Structure 1
Amino acid sequence: MRHETRPNERRVPLSPDDARRLISRGIELTVEESPQRIFPLDAYAAVGCGTAPQGSWAVRCPADGYVLGLKELPSEPLLLRHRHIYFGHAYKGQAGARGLLRRFTAGGGLLLDLESLVDGEGRRVAAFGYWAGYAGAALAVLHRRGVLDAPLTSDSRSGWERRLRASRPGRSESAVVIGAYGRCGQGACDALLTAGIEPSRWNSAETKALDRDALLSHDILVNTVGTDRPVPPFLTKDDLDAPHRRLSVVSDVTCDVGTDRNTLPVYDHVTAWHRPAERLREEPRPLDLIAIDNLPSLVPDEASRAFSADLWPHLLALQEGSPVWDRCSEAFRRAVAAHG
């Protein structure tokens, strides 16, 4: 398990408790040092993991081993020869996707993208969705109430709950969650309820016959919908200029910016921890965007434990193979054929 190079990435794909479960079943696991990881290296060593300096996977991991991570790989080594398990974000035509896929093909490696780790019905078997939705909605509420500090810092769920409750204003607020009945949407709704807002819950029925005037009549929009094919947008730039727009904060949890699957094509880059919200419009009233692509890292302990609990049984199945990993491998081959 490698160190994450992104400075604010504190999550892990595998907790010490679940690492112990793998080791007890014959898996050899080495964990790199990391100064930011939510769980200390000593906790992994205590359950039998080997340890290694951060960034050493390229030379220390056996050629037939797996490199487990979450977010982007460093730019070196140029040739990727291992089997990497992480969120590659390379199958929808994202910026840099073609170059990443070529690094794998040139090195003879394999990307087992966690986005493609799905069951027979296409549902992810391990996901951070709930916590992405929770954090995305929490940020939207706190920003609208004028109490969101920057740069952002991670916290526990109880810490975010205290902030949401303490910020409740004397006036009523409205919010809509698109994709409200998925895991991500459920997390967003839970955060809004904690903040004292009963959200409008939209799903496929509401987006199929989209009422943009109703959408624009809310104070907050939280989008949790990801799609594997282009669909009509939920909002356009023209909608933002509507004189009757009440909407003042958009939190796009999905962050499919730069692809043809983006359901909110009203911005062209994600926002960041040091500047979580950016202004989209001044008139007819201010409208701000939050689009952070590692939201669950704002709740790193709970998010990591939940994800790890989903993932570790599938890591165990790597020894013998499984339909889940077969589908993951096939997704890589299709992406290479299409974009590589």
Structure 2
Amino acid sequence: MSDAPRLWMRHESRSSERRAPLTPEDAAVLVAHGVPVTVEESPQRAFPLGDYRAAGCATAPAGSWTGAPADTYVLGLKELPEDPGRLIHRHIFFGHAYKGQSGAAELLGRFTAGGGSLLDLEYLTDEDGRRLAAFGHWAGYVGAALAVLHRRDRLTVPLAPLGRAELDAALRDSRTDDGLRALVTGALGRCGSGAREAFATAGIEPTCWDLAETRRLDRAALLDHDILVNAVLTSRPVPPFLTAEHLDTPGRRLSVVSDVTCDVTSDCNVLPLNDRPTTWEQPVRRLPGLDVIAIDNLPSLLPAEASRSFSADLLPHLLDLGGPPWERCLRTFHAAQRSVQESAHA
């Protein structure tokens, strides 16, 4: 299939990012369908480079995507390095650039300068707007697990990647009759289902709120929980769930917030009491009277499990890179690009 699009999976520049958007097994499927796949060397990826080579992929040095043919699709997960300033390729990754996040205008400007495009994985959706590939379940699972382990003084810092069995064992070992009350907002979505699963492993039956409950938020009830796991993702500003002023409420129980959504630099942040992400080195930010976990690559703590699930979801769409979901991605990109340009000239 000589006219098949080229796919190039880049090394992730963030040192704590162990996941891969494409596993060796799924790369082999692409190759079998005539899709040329190049995989960059990476010292941190959960899957050895040799497994990709055995799957029929070409390999290349880390960061060499900048010299790939201009018609290549460059596949990744997290942020691009600062160079080059002009982006000429079609990039598939989580850009976090459409809701006014920090650095969004600069990233979109790099695509404008180079003529490339961003096919943002967050906006790869079906006709009804449902995301087609997401790490949500594992983000929710890890976010809730870290909150429980921190609240029970069992969290080991700095964080390091684990296997599912190891994290489950830590949660089961933490079980006690401390009577912790936990709340999951966005409980019926992917993230929420993962959070509920982690709480069950830890011996906690959480309160579950979804659209109806968050639309008419009972803040007193929210504050009457020890742990809040926020799994609500919104594309437009809404009234905040919790601000710093709400923490002055007498008798509140809330002591730990795990913000799985982590929209911390956007106007869509429903927890504006926190304005920055936390890290693997310092996963917990201590605010007056409240501890906040806001790590923006939570599933990388379980890199193999999270990658296999995500890659399986993404594979059918990598086999059809010109299909309707990608066309929707491209339209969304162009709309965001125009918005930034109009704002610059306003």
Give the TM-score taking structure 2 as reference length: 0.95
Counterpart mapping for 1:58-207 below 5 A: 58-59=66-67, 61-207=68-214
Amino acid at match of 1:98: A
Tell me if 1:211 matches 2:214. Answer: no
Residue 331 of structure 2 aligns with which residue?
A: 330
Give the CA deviation at 1:116: 0.8
Residue 14 of structure 1: how far off its partner (Å): 0.3
8 Å CA contact 1:93–1:339 kept in 2: the answer is: no
- Specify which of 13, 29, 37 is matched with residue 29 of structure 1: 37
Displacement of 1:238 in angstroms is 1.1
Q: Distance in 2 between matches of 1:33 and 1:184?
A: 31
Q: How far apart, CA to CA, are the structure 1 residues paired with 2:323 and 2:228?
A: 39
Q: Structure 1 unaligned runs (5+)?
A: none
CA distance in structure 1 between the aligned counterparts of 2:248 and 2:25, rounded to whole angstroms:
51
Task: Please list the CA deviations of residues 186-209 of structure 1 after superposition, one character each: whole Å capped at 9, or x if unmatched.
Answer: 000000010000000100111111
Tell me the distance in 2 between the aligned counterparts of 1:215 and 1:48: 52
Query: Matched residues in 1 for 2:79 and 2:265: separation?
Result: 17
Deviation at 1:111, TM superposition (A): 0.5
Deviation for aligned residue 1:335: 0.5
The answer as to 2:257 corresponding to 1:241 is no
User: Post-superposition shift, 1:169?
Assistant: 2.1
CA distance in 2: counterparts of 1:171 and 1:83, whole angstroms:
51
The match for 1:8 is: 16
The whole-number CA distance in structure 1 between the counterparts of 2:108 and 2:216 is 38
Distance 2:132 2:37 in 1: 22
> Aligned to 1:308, what secondary structure does the other structure show?
helix
Deviations, residues 267-324 of structure 1 (Å, cap 9, x unaligned): 1111111010011123xxxx20000000000110000000000001101101xx2110
| Cα drift, residue 168 of structure 1 | 1.2
Residue in structure 1 matched with residue 309 of structure 2 by the alignment: 306
CA distance in 1, matches of 2:217, 2:253: 17
- Counterpart CA distance in 1 for 2:18 and 2:162 is 11
**2:91 alignment partner, SS class:** strand
Instruction: State the one-letter code of the partner of 1:24.
Output: A
Measured in 1, the distance between the counterparts of 2:239 and 2:173 equals: 38
1:20 corresponds in structure 2 to 28
Find the aligned partners of 1:248 and 1:206 in 2 and give their Cα distance: 21
Match of 1:296 among 286, 296, 299: 299
Deviations 1:143-190 (A, max 9, x none): 000110111011111111000000112321110000000011000000
Stretches of structure 2 lacking an aligned partner (at least 5 in a row): 1-8, 342-346
From 314, 318, 321, the counterpart of 1:315: 318
Q: For 1:27-52, what per-residue CA distance to the aligned partner results, in whole angstroms no more than 9, with x for missing partners?
A: 00000000000000000000100000
Q: Which residue type is aligned with residue 293 of structure 1?
A: D
Size of the aligned set, in residue pairs, is: 333
Compute the displacement of 1:260 (Å).
1.3
The separation in 2 between residues aligned to 1:200 and 1:222, in whole angstroms, is 10
Q: 8 Å contact 1:276–1:290 — kept in the other structure?
A: yes
CA distance in 2, matches of 1:190, 1:213: 25
In 2, the alpha carbon distance for the partners of 1:46 and 1:66 equals 21
Residue 55 of structure 1 pairs with residue 63 of structure 2: yes
Aligned residue type for 2:285? E
- Post-superposition offset of 1:108: 0.6
* 1:88-128 Cα distance to aligned partner (Å, 9 max, x none): 11001111110100100100101101011011111110000
Residue 226 (structure 1) aligned with residue 233 (structure 2): yes
Structure 2 CA distance, aligned partners of 1:270 and 1:245? 24
Q: Which residue of 2 aligns with 1:273?
A: 280
Q: Which runs of 4+ in 1 moved over 3 A?
A: none
3-state secondary structure, aligned to 2:142: helix
Tell me the amino acid that sits aligned with residue 15 of structure 1: T
